[in-house]
């Protein structure tokens, strides 16, 4: 690391039973490819959580070992996992603290349920899977139907098909403007 170079950024992807496969694995690998330290955060370190399709993911860390002050961002995937995450307080507490600290909070699909539980949507513009749009509106957000929405430190998307734009905006958030080139359809290229 060069003397004046910033430390590597650290982002966690929240995981739980019944996660949406692509919404965990695509951001996890895209961020790692971009040089961003990315960890899988579950209730229990070393525990395997199965996706909607039965594909396992193993938690690399847990809430007792993870502090918002040590992180630069959090990604909340969808599937049925957010419904399970809402059954204990730690995911919403972490997201609320990250948001209030001005750190990146990114949510896709049903991940917006955690944004509702965390109380971070009031006055924000956001998107999500259309079936929970009323929840997002009732939490105080202005809902829009777009592949990706960036409002300050909040990035939201609707569904797996939006992952290229979603991941591009997350990477762009951590990339100095002079090194980021937009390459059509919301895809980003690091120079």
- Residue 79 forms part of a structural domain: yes
The region, left, alpha or beta by phi > 0 then psi within -120 to 50, assigned to residue 190 is beta
pLDDT at 130 (0 to 100): 98
Of the chain, the end-to-end C-alpha distance in Å amounts to 18
CATH of the domain at 171: 3.40.50.880
Catalytic residue among 110, 158, 159, 173: 110
The tally of domains found in the chain comes to 1
Give the separation between CA 41 and CA 128, rounded to whole angstroms: 21
- Residue 3 maps to a domain: no
**pLDDT score, position 24:** 98
Q: In whole angstroms, give the CA distance from residue 91 to residue 77.
A: 12
Could you tell me the pTM of the whole model?
A: 0.90
53 assigned to active site: no
Q: Is residue 78 part of a domain?
A: yes
- Domain assignment present for residue 2? The answer is no
Let me know if residue 5 belongs to a domain. Answer: no
pLDDT for position 131: 98
Q: Smallest Cα–Cα separation from 85: which of 161, 180, 20, 182? A: 20
In a domain, 4, yes or no: no
Domain that holds residue 132: 10-190
For residue 161, give Cα distances in angstroms to 24, 45, 164: 13, 30, 8
Rounded mean pLDDT for each run of 10 residues along the chain, 191 residues in total: 59 98 98 97 98 97 97 98 98 98 98 98 98 98 98 98 98 77 48 43
Model pLDDT, residue 99: 98
What is the model's pLDDT at position 190?
45
Residue 1 domain-assigned (yes or no): no
Is 129 part of any domain? yes
| Beta strand ranges found along 16-145 (DSSP E) | 37-42, 48-50, 56-58, 61-62, 73-76, 104-108, 125-126, 142-143
């Amino acid at each position: 690391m060069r003397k004046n170079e910033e430390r590597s950024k650290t982002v966690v992807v929240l995981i739980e039973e019944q996660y949406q496969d692509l919404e965990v694995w695509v951001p996890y690998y895209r961020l790692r490819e971009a040089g961003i330290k990315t960890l899988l955060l579950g209730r229990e370190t070393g525990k395997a959580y199965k996706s909607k399709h039965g594909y396992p993911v193993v938690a690399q860390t847990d809430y007792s070992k993870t502090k918002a002050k040590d992180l630069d961002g959090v990604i909340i995937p969808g599937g049925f996992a957010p419904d399970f995450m809402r059954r204990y307080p730690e995911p919403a507490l972490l997201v609320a603290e990250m948001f209030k600290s001005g750190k990146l909070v990114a949510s896709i699909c049903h991940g917006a349920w955690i944004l509702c539980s965390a109380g971070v949507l009031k006055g924000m513009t956001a998107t999500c899977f259309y079936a929970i749009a009323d929840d997002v509106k009732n939490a105080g957000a202005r809902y829009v139907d777009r592949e990706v929405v960036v409002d300050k430190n909040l990035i939201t998307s609707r569904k797996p098909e939006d992952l290229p734009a979603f991941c591009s905006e997350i990477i762009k958030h951590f990339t100095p403007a002079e090194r980021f080139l937009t390459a059509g359809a919301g895809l980003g290229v690091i120079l």
